[in-house]
């Protein structure tokens, strides 16, 4: 293939440019590199011709002699570096020009080759140079994409921990890799899944979300995989499963740790083979679905007690994004407070409402076990219940309410959540507090604790594992 034909037609294969004023050297290098490096090769008989061709194409590697009549290798290197720093420049040097080659490395050359050549060494250097350029250009494209990318909807904050997660989501969004999103309740796992979907090439289709704990085992299986008419009593018509509905899109399996083992087996097949078999059918259905799963539980602990399949875990755990809790992104709390305050002031037409400095300081310093969701619900409650234009710290402490009112209002921050989310959060808070108090009283003795609370020892241990509570932490 001629140089001119390549410049017109090539857009995909790797490109190496050889610059040398000796025709025999050009011919030998061209044959060697084309044969062994799976790339296209163009040549230039001088540094000035190389610069002219550099304006017409974008080589991955330039292999240049250091001594040439019009423009030597060092001057050419400087011009190339100004034009495109991702090009890997390899300098060829003969006896007596080693010092010049060392200077070339200092000026940004990737490597140098000393004449006479060892062909195997040439091939290694060119291949490494091609790989280096590919990595540099991929990173450059990624940085450009990220810099032009607006923060995904719903994410507020500039903390390093949050930026790391968003960076990871952006990097894997446009792939088909299965993503496992982990994190405490209220950290925005579903928000992360939606960001992942909206940044992907599947964003034109609706993401399907499955709330796994909300569905009984038999219902969950039929919802995920569908069924044929007559597959079981009550199946009066065919039902299309959610995996089929998500074909070409993304499916979020929310709180996947609660999926029964029997359903986990069928889910594993979907992940492995990209196919499933509806209830009552003998044939399988192929689907193109990107699976995202989320959990706030310790899957490794569930694997140890046989409640979660290890092979499914490894299939899900291709890429793991861990959402930081609010304590880890504390510097973002002021931003979140002002964002939610502005949002709810607009929503409920309370444009003159303001929070006192003491209240803002209290909100910033307070612990938020329910994370961003709890903070959001508290700001919403403050806006809804505010009497005047300014809310002080004393206005939200409710010091004169009765004990009964206080016991009811301690969950008021959850009243604006969905019923299932609020119930799950209340159960979590109660269970963690109950177990910690129980184990403190018995100094970490699980047998005595189980006897007092009326549970079998193994049942109590299962609950402790679910909430990551370790008995040794309470031993004196």
Find out whether 464 and 473 touch, Cβ atoms under 8 Å: no
Phi-psi group of 65: left, alpha or beta (phi > 0 → left; psi -120 to 50 → alpha; rest → beta): beta
Identify whether residues 46 and 73 lie together within a single domain: yes
Averaged pLDDT score across all residues of the chain: 83
Question: In the chain, how many H helices and how many E strands?
Answer: 21, 14
Decide which of 265, 292, 322 is a domain's last residue: 322
Say whether pLDDT at 324 is over 80.
yes
Identify whether residues 384 and 458 lie together within a single domain: no
Identify whether residues 313 and 336 lie together within a single domain: no
pLDDT at 158: 78
Identify whether residues 29 and 131 lie together within a single domain: yes
Distance CA 49, CA 51 (A): 5
Say whether pLDDT at 343 is over 70.
yes
Residue 295: pLDDT band (50, 70, 90) is very high
Work out the end-to-end distance of the chain between its first and last CA atoms, rounded to an integer number of angstroms. Answer: 80
Residue 294: pLDDT band (50, 70, 90) is very high
Residue 252 domain-assigned (yes or no): yes
Distance CA 168, CA 158 (A): 15
Identify whether residues 118 and 59 lie together within a single domain: yes
Which of the two residues, 360 and 348, has the higher pLDDT score?
348
Decide which of 384, 400, 417 is a domain's last residue: 417
What is the CATH number for 406? Answer: 1.10.8.60
Distance CA 450, CA 454 (A): 6
The domain in which residue 458 lies consists of: 420-474
What is the CATH number for 40? Answer: 3.40.50.2300
- Kindly report whether the peptide bond that precedes residue 116 is cis, defined as omega within 30 degrees of 0: yes
Distance CA 55, CA 68 (A): 20
Query: 203 in helix, strand or coil?
Result: coil
pLDDT at 36: 87
Find out whether 288 and 245 touch, Cβ atoms under 8 Å: no
pLDDT at 400: 32
Say whether pLDDT at 313 is over 70.
yes
Q: Give the HSE-up count for residue 421: Cα atoms under 13 Å, Cβ half-sphere.
A: 18
Identify whether residues 49 and 188 lie together within a single domain: no
Query: 279: which DSSP letter?
Result: B
Say whether pLDDT at 236 is over 80.
no
Residue 41 domain-assigned (yes or no): yes
Identify whether residues 203 and 296 lie together within a single domain: yes
Residue 436 domain-assigned (yes or no): yes
For the stretch 361-396, pLDDT in tens is 788 888 888 899 999 999 998 998 888 788 888 777
Residue with tokens 């505010």: 386
- Closest of 327, 356, 249, 238 to residue 292, by C-alpha: 249
Which of the two residues, 423 and 123, has the higher pLDDT score?
123
- In the chain, what percentage of residues exceed pLDDT 90? 31
Per-residue pLDDT, averaged over 449-453, amounts to: 86
pLDDT at 159: 83
pLDDT at 402: 32
Identify whether residues 269 and 311 lie together within a single domain: yes
Residues ≥6 apart with Cβ < 8 Å to 110: 61, 88, 89, 90, 129, 132
Across 301-455, the runs of DSSP E, i.e. the strands, are 319-322, 354-355, 390-391
Distance CA 259, CA 214 (A): 10
- Closest of 406, 407, 461 to residue 435, by C-alpha: 461
Q: How far is CA 420 from CA 23, 57, 215, 356, in A?
A: 77, 59, 11, 33
For the stretch 179-197, pLDDT in tens is 999 999 999 999 999 999 9
Identify whether residues 166 and 205 lie together within a single domain: yes
Residue 125: pLDDT band (50, 70, 90) is very high
Residue 150 domain-assigned (yes or no): no
pLDDT at 431: 84
Query: 206: which DSSP letter?
Result: P
Q: Give the HSE-up count for residue 187: Cα atoms under 13 Å, Cβ half-sphere.
A: 23
Residue 151 domain-assigned (yes or no): no
Q: Which two tokens stand for residue 279?
A: 């209830």
Query: 472: which DSSP letter?
Result: G
Identify whether residues 186 and 283 lie together within a single domain: yes
pLDDT at 13: 78
Which helix (H) or strand (E) segment holds residue 34: the answer is helix 23-37
pTM: 0.53
For the stretch 69-108, pLDDT in tens is 888 888 999 999 999 989 999 998 876 567 777 788 888 8
pLDDT at 230: 63
For the stretch 275-293, pLDDT in tens is 888 877 778 888 899 999 9
Q: How many domains does the chain fold into? A: 4
Say whether pLDDT at 135 is over 70.
yes
Q: Identify the top-confidence range among 9-18, 30-39, 403-412.
A: 30-39
Distance CA 56, CA 124 (A): 27
Decide which of 283, 303, 322 is a domain's last residue: 322
Identify whether residues 198 and 215 lie together within a single domain: yes
Per-residue pLDDT, averaged over 35-47, amounts to: 91
Residue 148 domain-assigned (yes or no): no
Distance CA 434, CA 184 (A): 19
Query: 401 in helix, strand or coil?
Result: coil
Q: Which residues of 359-369 are buried (b: 16+ CB within 10 A; e: fewer)?
A: bbeebeeeebb
pLDDT at 409: 46
Identify whether residues 165 and 314 lie together within a single domain: yes
- Closest of 122, 167, 108 to residue 142, by C-alpha: 167
Per-residue pLDDT, averaged over 471-476, amounts to: 67
Find out whether 418 and 381 touch, Cβ atoms under 8 Å: no
Say whether pLDDT at 41 is over 60.
yes
């Amino acid at each position: 293939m001629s140089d001119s034909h390549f410049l017109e037609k090539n857009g995909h294969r790797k490109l190496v440019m050889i610059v040398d004023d000796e025709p025999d050297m050009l011919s030998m290098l061209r044959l060697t590199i084309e044969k062994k490096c799976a790339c296209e090769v163009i040549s230039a008989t001088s540094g000035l011709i190389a610069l002219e061709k550099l304006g017409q194409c974008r080589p991955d590697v330039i292999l240049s002699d250091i001594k040439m009549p019009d423009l030597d290798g060092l001057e050419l290197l400087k011009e190339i570096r100004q034009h495109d720093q991702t090009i890997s420049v390899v300098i060829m040097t003969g006896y007596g020009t080693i010092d010049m080659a060392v200077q070339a490395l200092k000026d940004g050359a990737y490597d140098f080759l000393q004449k006479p050549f060892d062909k195997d060494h040439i091939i290694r250097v060119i291949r490494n140079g091609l790989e280096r350029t590919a990595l540099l250009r991929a990173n450059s494209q990624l940085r450009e994409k990220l810099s032009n990318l607006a923060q995904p909807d719903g994410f507020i904050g500039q903390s390093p921990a949050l930026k790391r997660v968003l960076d990871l989501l952006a990097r894997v969004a446009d792939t088909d890799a299965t993503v496992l999103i982990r994190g405490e309740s209220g950290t925005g796992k579903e928000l992360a899944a939606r960001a992942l979907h909206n940044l992907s090439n599947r964003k034109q289709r609706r993401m399907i979300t499955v709330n796994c704990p909300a569905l009984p085992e038999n219902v969950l299986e039929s919802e995920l995989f569908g069924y044929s008419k007559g597959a079981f009593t009550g199946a009066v018509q065919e039902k299309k499963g959610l995996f089929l509905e998500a074909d070409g899109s993304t499916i979020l399996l929310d709180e996947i740790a609660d999926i029964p083992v029997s359903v986990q087996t069928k889910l594993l097949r979907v992940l492995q083979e990209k196919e499933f078999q509806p209830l009552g059918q003998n044939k399988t259905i192929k689907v193109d679905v990107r699976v995202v799963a989320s959990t706030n539980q310790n899957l490794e602990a569930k694997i140890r007690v046989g409640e979660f399949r290890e092979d499914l875990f490894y299939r899900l755990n291709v890429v793991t994004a861990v959402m930081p809790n609010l304590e880890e992104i504390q510097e973002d709390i002021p931003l979140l407070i002002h964002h939610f305050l502005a949002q709810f002031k607009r929503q409920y037409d309370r444009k003159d409402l303001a929070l006192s400095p003491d209240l803002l300081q209290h909100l910033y310093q307070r612990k938020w076990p329910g994370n961003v969701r709890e903070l959001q619900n508290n700001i919403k409650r403050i806006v809804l219940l505010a009497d005047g234009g300014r809310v002080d710290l004393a206005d939200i402490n409710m010091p004169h309410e009765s004990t009964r009112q206080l016991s009811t209002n301690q969950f008021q921050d959850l009243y604006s959540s969905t019923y299932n989310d609020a119930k799950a959060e209340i159960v979590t808070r109660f269970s963690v507090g109950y177990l910690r108090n129980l184990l403190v009283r018995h100094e970490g003795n699980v047998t005595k604790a189980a006897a007092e609370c009326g549970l079998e020892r193994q049942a109590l241990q299962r609950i402790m594992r679910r909430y990551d509570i370790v008995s040794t932490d309470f031993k004196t």
